[in-house]
Amino acid sequence: MRAITYDRFGSPDVLTLVTDAPQPEPAEGEVLVQVTHVGLNPLDHKIRDGSSRLASLVELPAGTGREMAGTVIGGGPDLDDYELGSRGLAPGTRVFGMRPPGDLRGTACEIIAIAADALSPVPTEVEAEDLPRWAGLALVGLTAIAAVDDAAEVSAGQTVLIHGGTGGVGQMLIPMALEAGAATVWATGRAANAERIRELGGEPIAYDEADWQQEIDRATGGRGVDVVLDTHYDSTFLPSLDHVAPGGRVVPLPTLADLTPARERGITAVIPEITVTRQRLDRLVIGLREGHYRLEVSQVLPLEQIARAHELLADGHTRGKIVLDLNA
């Protein structure tokens, strides 16, 4: 089968398309999936270049990618067709999902073995041309749930500031914060993306045209916001501490974020931890199906352009998701 692998950490050039990779054997509790689309995320290039803490756990040569959409073709020794059917994962079922945090095998290959509990069926009415959105849903959706519900504990009437409102995660954070009861959600982004933020229900702050700190001070009368959800961190975490209301909290998404500056000032700071469960995946199905989570895919590229996809991820200005199409 075709698969993307790399045998050393480095630039996107280390990514190699092999055409004779062995087909995996599913272990107990795992499902075999024929992959059609692979969702990509900034974490992918950070693992590949060695900058993510997860890179130290990777065994080279390794695969890349954390999430995907495809079709069930079989199960492990404990999952016959009857058992798969009882889970809604009968052979022939289209599914989406992501590898749990401890599973560092890639998804950018034609067939993968993945935990059954890390998958959820794609609704039967979904057209083939919409599958890229489902391939890019799991990681950003589960990250947003972990950030809004678990780490930030957003509640009714609170005010929220999101740094990076039109990235893959940002486009999920806005509706989820509103769903949790937030009174107002401000989101930073380029002026060109302001309308997209409004479509998602947020109040845009165009960081390329205005000083976001001054805008938040003006909008909140100097009080600050109850919650900061920070998808950027490097240039935004420290300044955000000056704009957190008393008793508020800040949630940086990068796992290597240093929370010390916040804690030294008595500000609650929490890094979200993704939990991959069927229940949470099913929640994403409902949200996308009913139009509450309007995740956007900015580019769909063929598997052969994986290096180009990683370059776009590293650039940091991608709107929505980048997805690989293995049938292109």
**Three-class HEC string of the chain:** CCEEEECCCCCHHHCEEECCCCCCCCCCCEEEEEEEEEEECHHHHHHHCCCCHHHHHCCCCEECCCEEEEEEEEECCCCCHHHHHHCCCCCCCEEEEECCCCCCCCCCECEEEEEHHHEEECCCCCCHHHHHHHHCCHHHHHHHHHHHHHHCCCCCCCEEEEECCCECCHHHHHHHHHHCCCCEEEEEECHHHHHHHHHCCCEEEECCCCCHHHHHHHHHCCCCEEEEEECCCCCCHHHHHHHEEEEEEEEECCCCCCCHHHHHCCCEECCCCCCCCHHHHHHHHHHHHCCCCCCCEEEEEEHHHHHHHHHHHHHCCCCEEEEEECCC
User: How open is the CA angle 285-317-165, to the nearest 5 degrees?
Assistant: 50
Give the per-residue pLDDT at 97.
Answer: 98
Beta bridge partners of 324: 38, 301
pLDDT at res. 178: 98
pLDDT of residue 45: 94
Residue type, 31: V
pLDDT at 255: 87
The answer to whether 31 and 75 have CB atoms below 8 angstroms apart is yes
pLDDT at 256: 87
The parts of the chain modelled with pLDDT lower than 50 are none
Domains of the chain: 3-137+295-325 (3.90.180.10), 140-269 (3.90.180.10)
pLDDT at 317: 73
Q: Which two tokens stand for residue 294?
A: 């309007």
Write the Ramachandran bin of 29: left for phi over 0, alpha for psi from -120 to 50, otherwise beta: left
